[in-house]
Amino acid sequence: MTDNSPKAVVLRSIDLYNDHPPEVYLDVEKFLSLWSDDCVQEFAATPQTPARRTVGKQPTRDAVAALSTWMRASHTTVHEAVAEGDRVAVRYTWTGVVTRDVPGYHAGTVVRADGTGFYTVRDGLIVEMVDVMGPMLAGEADKQ
Amino acid sequence: MTDNSPKAIVLRMLDQAMLDTLHGTAKFLDSFTDSAVWEYAPTAGAPQWRRVQGKEARRAAFHRVYDQAIDTTTTVHEVVAEGGSVAVAYTFGVSFAADRPGLPAGVHGLFECVNLFAVSDGLIVSEKQYTGPMLAEGG
């Protein structure tokens, strides 16, 4: 029987995020299957990107399409997950592979970023995520 | 009666840390074990994980930075706790009497932060901190 606790839903969502061939960036529809249609995603500013807030699934599809033009093999490793009520906090390391030369990175570079996400889960779907991620750095994760 | 849940211990420590920056003390360390470990995720200015082990090392680092602080603020947005784990999302603000890298004297810098704590037997044994870039500044 499927565990639909908020923590299980978030961890399953991250499993789906990672479930794709390494030559592609992400299977966005598989990943979004555990998000509500009106989901809200908030990303705190990073050294490379301004803060942004999106509503619904389409902005994620658009972002993944843009990232897919120069990255592949997106992967998130969860180090810790803490749940209380409908809220789940996750500490993670994200990695990806650059597929063509872009400013700051050569093709083939593995990039990583360490971060945290706070999720809200209702009725088995993720309705909100607030993400605080560090700088995108060249090189494999140095922290587990 | 004092609430000694891990969440209450962490929130009391954060309140005390704010008072400490005003008074030049480091009483917030009373909430940690002697061998506690602090780890800091990479930032633009420090692109490697940093680690401080032991209360006395943390005390020295705290005084080195915050003895020059003239104002600090902490606005807690969210706390999630499960067992001995506590995750806190907050905005931290600080201004210093002298110029610091990226933060001129007297300017109040704001940073989005998330800290994850492990609490055991009423004391904090570890803290992992993720800090975003400076968000805004004001004179």
pLDDT (tens digit per residue) in B79-94 = 999 999 999 999 999 9
Q: What is the CATH number of the domain that holds A26?
A: 3.10.450.50
What's the pLDDT tens digit per position in B24-73? Answer: 899 999 999 999 999 999 998 889 999 999 999 999 999 998 888 888 99
pLDDT for position A34:
98
- Which among A45, A46, A118 has CB closest to B89? A118
- Which among A80, A133, A135 has CB closest to B116? A80
User: Where does chain A show beta strands of DSSP type E?
Assistant: 35-43, 52-55, 71-84, 87-98, 110-122, 125-133, 137-138
pLDDT for position B139:
46
Q: Cβ contact (<8 Å) for B80 and A82?
A: yes
Determine the structural domain holding residue A113 and report its residue range.
Answer: 6-138
Place of tokens 């607030």: A130
pLDDT for position A141:
46
Q: Cβ contact (<8 Å) for A82 and B114?
A: no
Q: Within 10 Å of residue B9's Cβ, how many Cβ atoms? A: 21
Instruction: Tell me which long-range contacts B108-111 makes (C-beta under 8 A, separation of at least 24).
Output: B108/B71, B108/B73, B108/B137, B108/B138, B108/B139, B109/B134, B109/B135, B109/B136, B109/B137, B110/B134, B110/B135, B110/B136, B110/B137, B111/B135
- Which among A82, A118, A142 has CB closest to B85? A82
Contacts of A137 in chain B (CB under 8 A): 42, 47
Please tell me the distance in Å from A26's CA to the nearest CA on chain B. 25
Place of tokens 């490793």: A77
Q: Cβ contact (<8 Å) for A44 and B85?
A: no
Query: What is the average pLDDT value for chain B, to the nearest integer?
Result: 92
Q: Within 10 Å of residue A20's Cβ, how many Cβ atoms? A: 18
**A26: three-class secondary structure by DSSP:** coil
* B113 inside 8 A of chain A by CB: yes
Secondary structure letter of residue B60 according to DSSP:
H
Asked whether residue B16 is assigned to any structural domain, the reply reads yes
Determine the structural domain holding residue B24 and report its residue range.
Answer: 6-138
Query: What is the average pLDDT value for chain A, to the nearest integer?
Result: 94
pLDDT for position B44:
84
Asked whether residue B43 is assigned to any structural domain, the reply reads yes
| Size (chain B), residues | 139
Asked whether residue A110 is assigned to any structural domain, the reply reads yes
pLDDT for position A10:
98
For chain A, the maximum distance between any two Cα atoms, rounded to a whole number of angstroms, is: 47
Which residue type, as a one-letter code, is found at position A109? T
Contacts of B49 in chain A (CB under 8 A): 114, 142-143
* B125 inside 8 A of chain A by CB: no
Measured CA to CA in angstroms, residue B25 lies from A61, B33, B72, B93 at distances of 50, 18, 14, 18
Distance from C-alpha of A68 to C-alpha of A86, rounded to nearest angstrom: 32
Contacts of B86 in chain A (CB under 8 A): 82
Asked whether residue B75 is assigned to any structural domain, the reply reads yes
Q: What is the CATH number of the domain that holds B12?
A: 3.10.450.50
Q: At what angle do helices B6-23 and B55-66 cross, to 10 degrees?
A: 40
Contacts of B82 in chain A (CB under 8 A): 82-84
Nearest CA in chain B to A119: B80
Nearest CA in chain A to B90: A132
Asked whether residue B1 is assigned to any structural domain, the reply reads no
Contacts of B133 in chain A (CB under 8 A): 45-47
Output the CA angle B45-B48-B53, nearest 5 degrees.
110
Q: Between these two residues, A143 and A136, which has the higher pLDDT value?
A: A136
Q: How far is CA B56 from the centre of its chain?
A: 15
Distance from C-alpha of B30 to C-alpha of B45, rounded to nearest angstrom: 29
* Number of domains comprising chain B: 1
* B114 inside 8 A of chain A by CB: yes
Please tell me the distance in Å from B5's CA to the nearest CA on chain A. 14
Asked whether residue B21 is assigned to any structural domain, the reply reads yes
Which residue type, as a one-letter code, is found at position A68? S
Distance from C-alpha of A125 to C-alpha of A87, rounded to nearest angstrom: 12
* Number of domains comprising chain A: 1
Asked whether residue A105 is assigned to any structural domain, the reply reads yes
Residue closest to A94 by CA, chosen among A55, A130, A135, A57 = A135
- Which among B48, B49, B128 has CB closest to A91? B128
